Structure 1
Amino acid sequence: MSRSRFALVTGCGQGGIGEALVTEYTRRGIHAIATVLPQEASDHLSEAGITFFPLDVTIEKSVTDLKASVQKLTGGHLDILINCAGIAYTMTAIDTDVVAAQRMFDVNVFGPMRMVYHFHDMIIRSTGTIVNIGSIGGIIPYLYGSSYNATKAALQHWSNTLRVEMAPFDVKVITVISGEVSTNILKNDAHRQIPEGSYYSPLAENFKQHVTRTPQGATDRFQYAANVVAQSLKPRPPAWFWYGSFTGMIRFLDTFGWRTVWDSMLWRMFDLGKLKQEHCTRITDSGS
């Protein structure tokens, strides 16, 4: 008699990718284990009959407590680990609050590191799969996302090395390069503003519209989840799986374009011409 298969997904708050992933695993007959922050609502999981535990990936004891619970539930096996927990911090590079950026690195980069450090033995025992949720932000210099982009670039390169190091144990590692997906990740950034006196003050209204936007053409998160889950169940999955809006174009330009291929596109997209003009006017006025 074959044993049950288990998939652990971090970051399964309501409205996010993690919730869609555990829903898809459950639909496929795999025992999904979700995590939510200790203070976060979990009704959406309990109502769906999905197993969940509290977890803060930035706290070592929280991760070890989760491991004890998962070991008890699964008998020491874990077939799939998806590092999905993540937060965003939107701001210009020159106005970045380093403390906020450090917090984001602790969740987006060191969180997956903690999870793999503590759960690798269970995954090796199951010759399982690790999935790290990356982003096109780790590929292109998307404005106002320098710190977030840096976390995803770091995660993606760490994931690359992890893949090579886990190969001798027959553990598969997939790095997902996510395009624009319809989630609520920007909910905590909606209040953010360009600081008074910033060189980017002329674009303060543009920035406000950016952090409160509803992304156009974004991929449905349940469609995204169905495709990511399908890849995670393959015996020979791709090292990088690109999926979501705009990934086709970005993958092509990243492969064949020059390093600054994005600059002119982003200049127009974020109205940097207006910023340049305002800056030149300010210099002229101060010199007169």
Structure 2
Amino acid sequence: MKGNNLPSVLITGCGKGGIGHALALEFQSKGYTVIATLLAHEPREHLTECGIHVFTADVTKDADIEKLRVEVSSITNNRLDILVNNAGICYTMTAIDTDVDEVSKMFAVNVFGPMRMVRFFHPLLVNAQGNVVNIGSVGGIVPYVYGSSYNASKAALHHWGNTLRVEMKPLGVSVVNIISGEVGTNILKRDVGRHLPVGSLYAPLQDEFANHVNRTPSTTTPQEYAAAVVSEAVKRHPRAWFWTGATTFIVRWGDVFLPRTYWDGLFTRWFNLDKLQKK
């Protein structure tokens, strides 16, 4: 496959209807050679029909990412202008009822996946003096109820990205953490139908929990989100943290000016946690 001289972007996790899908289309509209990854079971017509390069790759597997690196190198002349670490999964559960095996799977994708991508692709990024874009979340900032493990994975990604930014700057590579608000995607699909375990101390909230995991947020659209992210990502020197999506303004403002415990009372009311108090 012959290389080309167009700017290039590699985006992980581009399933139909998600953030990655929207980002791929937005980058393509800006004249980028777009390379997208999917898992083996995911359909690809939503990307290939648009002329986007698509490869099957699991960010938890070294062999997949090494093979992907070879393919990308042949397309981009051994350069990569932008790497978007978007692949992610969600696990929703109370902190005390957490299934650690489920969390391990989530960290393998949400945290170790971006680490693996940068480990394999950093030579191409250095060659292009490119950008790394990590898709983070307001969950990594505030104690969003039932999201302790997901929040922890995003907080880890943010802080890894912070240090990566410092270390990559002398090599000419920029790193931006996207602090995402509520975006209408399919990331919650793994949680649909999830229930509290038998005997959970949160049993009085089992109906509320079921409604939460089956919710369909009415929020920023993937297309609106992608337009904002791409506008920042294509800059030669993007902001270290870029906040975008529903709720990010209040979270950012509150994180700076309000005490940490402000969120405790807010989420207690939102999630009706007072039902747990003994009479």
TM-score (norm 2): 0.97
User: Partner of 1:255 in structure 2?
Assistant: 256
- Note the 1:89-168 alignment, pairs <5 A: 89-168=91-170
Work out the percentage of aligned pairs sharing the same amino acid. 53
User: Partner of 1:9 in structure 2?
Assistant: 11
User: Partner of 1:240 in structure 2?
Assistant: 241
**1:47 CA displacement:** 1.6
Question: Which runs of 5 or more structure 1 residues have no equivalent in the other structure?
Answer: 282-288
Q: C-alpha root-mean-square deviation of aligned residues, in Å? A: 0.9
**1:236 CA displacement:** 2.1
Query: How far apart, in 1, do the equivalents of 2:233 and 2:268 lie?
Result: 37
Letter paired with 1:117: R
Question: Which runs of 5 or more structure 2 residues have no equivalent in the other structure?
Answer: none
Query: How far apart, in 2, do the equivalents of 1:205 and 1:275 lie?
Result: 13
Letter paired with 2:242: F
Task: Name the SS of the counterpart of 1:116 in structure 2.
Answer: helix
Task: Name the SS of the counterpart of 1:167 in structure 2.
Answer: helix
Letter paired with 2:89: I
Query: How far apart, in 2, do the equivalents of 1:77 and 1:264 lie?
Result: 49
Question: Between Structure 1 and Structure 2, how many residues are aligned?
Answer: 276
Query: How far apart, in 2, do the equivalents of 1:244 and 1:113 lie?
Result: 25
1:238-285 alpha-carbon deviations (Å, 9 max, x no partner): 100000001000000101111111000000000011121xxx14xxxx
Instruction: Please tell me whether residue 228 in structure 1 is matched to residue 229 in structure 2.
Output: yes
Of 55, 72, 76, which aligns to 1:74?
76
Runs (4+) of structure 1 moved beyond 6 Å? none
Worse-superposed segment, 44-53 or 202-211: 44-53
Query: How far apart, in 2, do the equivalents of 1:131 and 1:148 lie?
Result: 19
Query: How far apart, in 2, do the equivalents of 1:55 and 1:256 lie?
Result: 42
Q: Is the contact made by 2:9 and 2:35 (CA closer than 8 Å) also made in structure 1?
A: yes
- Note the 1:12-31 alignment, pairs <5 A: 12-31=14-33
Query: How far apart, in 2, do the equivalents of 1:264 and 1:97 lie?
Result: 26
Compare CA radii of gyration and give the structure with the larger one: 1
TM-score (norm 1): 0.94
